[in-house]
Amino acid sequence: MAPMFIRWTILVFMLLFGLAADAAEPVFPPGSRIGLVPPVGMIVSQLFQGFEDREKNASVIFVELSSEAYPEIEKSFAVETLKAQGIDVQAREEFPLKDGHGFLVIAHLAAAGTPTRKWVLVATEHDLTAVISVQVPDAAQDTYPDAALRVSLATFTTRAAVPVQEQLDLLPFSLKDLAGFRIVRAAASGAALLTDGPKDAIELEDQPLLLITFLPGAGDQVSDRDSMARRAISGTPGVKEMRIVRSEAMRIAGQPGHEIVVDAKEAKTETELRVVQWLRFGTGGSLRVLGVVRKDQWDQVFPRFRAVRDAIEPK
């Protein structure tokens, strides 16, 4: 009798929560291509891409990766691999999708000493791999039963792109002129990635890249700014054999700044590149604008990099 009762209880939950999910539209957190109908009680998080119930310490967190990442992620979530890390894996199952495929791992662990259920859905759809991590303390199981979580995950979907204005709205500054570039990704932290070309997974020999970020350190000491700029540009990923062309102080948008230009090679293909970095020093941190382009396209693209730099304004 007990097993039959449990099965009927799960069925009722599936029906009730399924009707609620059918009635609701998937929610896409700002800047995210991943969406789903969140479990009842969770709202869009202001701290990460996903949903949360702070009172219950429950969350649904989204991570977006390229479709090429799926095979490696799948290997890392093998049951044997997880158990070797001391994770109590309770189930691993295929998770059918309308336009892709995926798998679901259910585990139990202690998060900061709190017994917690963790569900991880890894799914690939079109050009995207999504990793959706659901974490619910055991104490909140009545609020977020397994059936409700499963129904919520079943509403997983993706959108082809995040609207440009939605991405721009995330940024703590305004980009008044994109100079023909398009936004690939933007985040509320102040990071924005731009390119000119069809690929989001940017190959430096194919498409120019423009990255806007904030760096800690305001460069208060004028004598330290050149070395600060050199350290920052030396960490540019995907390039090698850097050679400085020029490095000089300048004013940017009326504020103290620094420009450094280097010649380099793409790390794999050895395509000749030119890299420019501008630092605009301010209180509490520095705005960094980094542009990378093939050297034979420098004369055409550099003025566009500069136009974006000059169009960054505080909101």
pLDDT-based confidence at 1, cuts 50/70/90?
very low
For residue 21, which amino acid is it?
Answer: A
Nearest-angstrom CA–CA distance, 262 and 43? 46
Answer yes or no: do 42 and 126 share one domain.
yes
**Per-residue pLDDT for 8 more than 50?**
no
Answer yes or no: do 125 and 188 share one domain.
no
Amino acid 121: pLDDT: 98
What's the mean per-residue pLDDT of the chain?
89
Amino acid 200: pLDDT: 78
Out of 23-32, 141-150, 274-283, 304-313, pick the least confident.
23-32
201-217 pLDDT, tens digit each: 778 888 999 999 988 76
Give me the CATH number covering residue 232. 3.40.1000.10
Amino acid 190: pLDDT: 85
Answer yes or no: do 310 and 168 share one domain.
yes
Chain length of the chain:
315
Tokens representing 314 are 């505080």
**Per-residue pLDDT for 301 more than 80?**
yes
**Per-residue pLDDT for 79 more than 50?**
yes
pLDDT-based confidence at 187, cuts 50/70/90?
confident
Stretch 173-201: mean pLDDT, rounded?
90
Answer yes or no: do 183 and 139 share one domain.
no
Domain boundary among the residues 126, 158, 190 is at: 158
For residue 207, which amino acid is it?
Answer: Q
pLDDT-based confidence at 94, cuts 50/70/90?
very high
Does the predicted TM-score (pTM) go above 0.85?
no
Nearest-angstrom CA–CA distance, 257 and 247? 11
| Closest C-alpha to 212, from 277, 281, 289 | 289
Answer yes or no: do 128 and 189 share one domain.
no
- At residue 230, φ and ψ (nearest 5 deg) are -65, -40
> What DSSP string runs through 189-250?
TS-EEEESSS-SS--TTTS-EEEEEEEE----SGGGHHHHHHHHHHT-TTEEEEEEEEEEEE
Stretch 65-76: mean pLDDT, rounded?
93
Answer yes or no: do 186 and 148 share one domain.
no
Contact 66, 183 (CB under 8 A): no
Contact 121, 95 (CB under 8 A): yes
Q: 70 lies in which domain range? A: 2-158
Stretch 273-298: mean pLDDT, rounded?
94
Q: Checking phi first, is residue 50 left (phi over 0); if not, alpha (psi -120 to 50) or beta?
A: left
Domain boundary among the residues 97, 131, 158 is at: 158
119-170 pLDDT, tens digit each: 999 999 988 999 999 999 999 999 999 999 999 999 999 999 899 899 999 9
Amino acid 113: pLDDT: 86
Nearest-angstrom CA–CA distance, 220 and 110? 44
**Per-residue pLDDT for 43 more than 80?**
yes
Contact 255, 281 (CB under 8 A): yes
Amino acid 54: pLDDT: 97
Amino acid 218: pLDDT: 60
Domain count, the chain: 2
Answer yes or no: do 134 and 11 share one domain.
yes
Amino acid 23: pLDDT: 52
- At residue 197, φ and ψ (nearest 5 deg) are 155, 170
Answer yes or no: do 142 and 186 share one domain.
no
User: Within its chain, how far is the Cα of 74 from the centroid?
Assistant: 19
219-267 pLDDT, tens digit each: 667 878 899 899 999 999 899 999 999 999 999 988 999 999 999 999 9
Answer yes or no: do 14 and 153 share one domain.
yes
**Per-residue pLDDT for 315 more than 50?**
yes
Domain boundary among the residues 158, 183, 218 is at: 158
Nearest-angstrom CA–CA distance, 207 and 136? 42
Stretch 184-206: mean pLDDT, rounded?
87
Answer yes or no: do 86 and 149 share one domain.
yes
**Per-residue pLDDT for 271 more than 90?**
yes
Stretch 272-288: mean pLDDT, rounded?
92
Answer yes or no: do 67 and 150 share one domain.
yes
Answer yes or no: do 223 and 264 share one domain.
yes
